[in-house]
Amino acid sequence: MSILATIKDHSGRIYRGIQSLLLISIGAALLGAVEMSENLSSGSAFVVSILATSLALLALMYMRSSVVHSLKSAAVAEAEKHHFLTRDAMTGAMTRRYFLEALGNSLGTMRDRRDAALLLIDLDHFKQLNDTFGHQFGDRTLAHLVKTAERIFAGGMVGRLGGDEFGVIIPHSDLIAINKDVRQLLDAMRAGKSHEGRTIPLSISVGVALAPTHASNTTELMLVADLALYESKAAGRGRVTVFDEEMLSDKRYRRLVERELRAAVYLGELELHYQPIVNPDGSTYGFEGLIRWRHPVRGLISPAEFIPIAERSTLIDMLGEWVFKRACADIGYFPGRSISINVSGEQLKRDEIVTMCDRVLKETGRSATQFVIEITETVATAATPEILRRLEALRGLGFHIALDDFGTGHCGFNYLKTLPIDCIKIDRSYIRSLAHDQVAQIFVSALAQIARIQDVTIVAEGVETQEEFALARAAGCNRFQGYFFDRPAPRDKVSPLRTANTDQLALSA
C-alpha cells in the first residue's frame, strides 16, 4: 500500500479531528459571547478562552500524532512490500529481476562507464545434496551460501538467479582482490555445514567477468560470466574461472549452447513468433513462423545465433519437430490463413523430415495444405537427388514449398524450372535497393515474369517502407513481408488479420 493510500485510509480520523476542532472553536466562541453579554468579569472569560485554546491544542496534537502514525505505518508497509518484491524469501538474496536491474545500474551509462565485476556462483551437486540430506538441508545450504557471500563481499550485492545459481555484483574490477575474496568463499563453503551432528562439506563453481573489460552491458556480461562458470564446471567444479576471449570462439561455446538448447525444448523456453505475409491489397495472406529462444539469463535469442549450432547435430531435427508441432497447434488462431515454417538444409538430408511431418499432421489432425515449407536458396543449389525426392514427397503430402532468401546464393533462373517449388521469396537486399539500383529493378522484374509463366508466387521480403512496398508491387511481386506491415510477434500479440482495401496500405500503394 502506498503512503498516499494509507493517509487516505486514515482520512476518517483526520476528518473527525478537524470536526471536533471546529466544534470546540464554535463552543468557545459561543461561551465567550454569552459571558460577554452577561457582563461577567473578564477573568472568567480569560479562563474560558484558555480552556478552549488548550482543548483545540489537544485536538491538534491528536491529529498530528494520528498523521505521524499513519506515515510510519505506511513507511513500514512500503519497506515490507519492497523487501518482498526485491528479496528471495528463502535465501534473502535479491530476486533475479532486481539483481539484473542493479547490475545494469552498476555498469553506468554509455558516457559514464563504471568498473564492476560479476560473479556467477553455482552450488555443485545440489540435486544430490537434496536427495541425500533432504530439501530442508538443501534450502539451508542455499541460505548459508548467500549469508557467507554477503559477509565476504561486503560492498557487493548478492542475487538468486535460479534454483542453485547466484550472482554477486562487485563495484570494482580489481582482479587480485576479487580472486582473494572468491577463494575465501570457496574455503568457507568447503568448511561445510552441519547436519545432524555431521559436517557436510560444500562445493561451488564460480565464473567471473569484468566490466567494461569483458563486456559493457548486462546481457553480454551475464553471457561471458556464464561461459566462465561453465568452464569451471567442465574443469571439475569447485573452482573459479575468469572469462577469457578465447571461450567465445571455442567449440566449448557451441557445446554449451547445444546442451542448453536441448534443455530449452523441455523447459519450454522456445517460442514461435509470427510475421504476416500480405497480399497486394494489404490483406493478410498468411504468416511466417520464426523461432525464438527466451533464455533465462541471456533474454530473447535470435535464430541466427542458435540455428547454425543446432544444425551441427541432429538437434536441428528436434527443433524442427518442435516448430512444426507449435505451428499445427497455433494454426487454429489464424482461420483461413497459411503458416510458413523454415526447414533447414540439414533436416532435408534425412528421411526423418518426411516421416516427422506426416506423423505430426496425423497426430494433430491438420492438413499439409495449410502449411508452406521454406527452404533456403543454398539448399536448392546443392540439392542432391535424395533431397529433391524428399521435397517431392513433402509436396506429395500437400505442403507448398518456398525458396527463401532468393538472390543471395548462386541460384540461376534456370534452376527455377527444375525445382519443385511454389513460391520464391526475394531477399531483402534487393528490395532495399529497388529505389536506386537498376540491376535490382531488372532482377526483380525478370524474376516476376518468369514466375508468372511458371505459376510461382513471388514474395518481397524485408519491406520496411511504403516506397519499397510500392516499388516491389510495381516490379510484379505478388506478396509482401516486412516491418512495414508488422514485426514478428508472439501468437497472442499478432495484429488482427488485415482485410482487403480497408487498410490504408492498399490505398497508399
Q: What is the DSSP letter of 384?
A: -
- Shortest Cβ 166–ligand C2E spacing (Å): 32
Question: What is the C-alpha separation between 257 and 246, in angstroms, rounded?
Answer: 16
Element at 138 (helix H, strand E) = helix 135-152
Residue 405 interacting with ligand C2E (CB under 6 A): yes
Cell of 90: 528463502
Residue 494 interacting with ligand C2E (CB under 6 A): no
Residue 342 interacting with Mg ion (CB under 5 A): yes
Do 205 and 148 touch, CB atoms closer than 8 A?
Answer: no
When binding is defined by CB under 6 A, the residue of 106, 173, 284, 344 that contacts ligand C2E is 344
Residue 342 interacting with ligand C2E (CB under 6 A): yes
Task: Please name the residues in contact with 148: beta carbons below 8 A apart, sequence gap of 6 or more.
Answer: 185, 188, 189
Residue 4 or 304: which CB sits closer to ligand C2E? Answer: 304
Task: Please name the residues in contact with 371: beta carbons below 8 A apart, sequence gap of 6 or more.
Answer: 324, 327, 331, 338, 339, 340, 341, 399, 400
Q: What is the largest CA-CA distance in the chain?
A: 123
Residue 488 interacting with ligand C2E (CB under 6 A): yes
For Mg ion, which stretch binds (CB under 5 A), given 26-34, 158-166, 245-253, 340-348? 340-348
Backbone angles phi, psi at 123, to 5 degrees: -80, 120
Nearest 5 degrees, angle CA 14-CA 18-CA 24? 145
For ligand C2E, which stretch binds (CB under 6 A), given 15-23, 32-40, 361-369, 456-464? 456-464
Residue 165 or 346: which CB sits closer to ligand C2E? Answer: 346
Question: What is the C-alpha separation between 206 and 186, in angstroms, rounded?
Answer: 9
* Partner touching 488 among ligand C2E, Mg ion, none, CB below 5 to 8 Å by kind: ligand C2E
When binding is defined by CB under 5 A, the residue of 321, 405, 468, 486 that contacts Mg ion is 405
Question: What is the C-alpha separation between 369 and 278, in angstroms, rounded?
Answer: 18
Residue 284 interacting with ligand C2E (CB under 6 A): no
Question: What is the C-alpha separation between 37 and 32, in angstroms, rounded?
Answer: 9
When binding is defined by CB under 6 A, the residue of 401, 462, 475, 505 that contacts ligand C2E is 462
When binding is defined by CB under 6 A, the residue of 110, 176, 304, 453 that contacts ligand C2E is 304
Nearest 5 degrees, angle CA 264-CA 267-CA 268? 85
Do 45 and 36 touch, CB atoms closer than 8 A?
Answer: yes
Which positions from 357 to 386 touch Mg ion by CB under 5 A, shown as an x/- string? Answer: -----------------x------------
Residue 219 or 429: which CB sits closer to Mg ion? Answer: 429
Count residues binding ligand C2E (CB under 6 A): 21
- Shortest Cβ 418–ligand C2E spacing (Å): 23
Residue nearest to ligand C2E (CB): 482
Question: What is the C-alpha separation between 303 and 284, in angstroms, rounded?
Answer: 24
Residue 165 interacting with ligand C2E (CB under 6 A): no
When binding is defined by CB under 6 A, the residue of 168, 380, 404, 494 that contacts ligand C2E is 404
Residue 483 interacting with ligand C2E (CB under 6 A): yes
Q: Indicate the residue type of 106.
A: S
CB atoms within 10 A of CB 338: 17
CA 462 to chain centre: 24
When binding is defined by CB under 6 A, the residue of 307, 373, 375, 460 that contacts ligand C2E is 307
* Partner touching 462 among Mg ion, ligand C2E, none, CB below 5 to 8 Å by kind: ligand C2E
Q: What is the three-class DSSP state of 390?
A: helix
- Shortest Cβ 129–Mg ion spacing (Å): 46
For ligand C2E, which stretch binds (CB under 6 A), given 50-58, 154-162, 296-304, 378-386? 296-304
Question: What is the C-alpha separation between 94 and 290, in angstroms, rounded?
Answer: 34
Residue 302 interacting with ligand C2E (CB under 6 A): yes
**Interface residue list for ligand C2E (CB under 6 A):** 275, 290-291, 302-304, 307, 323, 342, 344, 374, 404-405, 428, 462-464, 481-483, 488
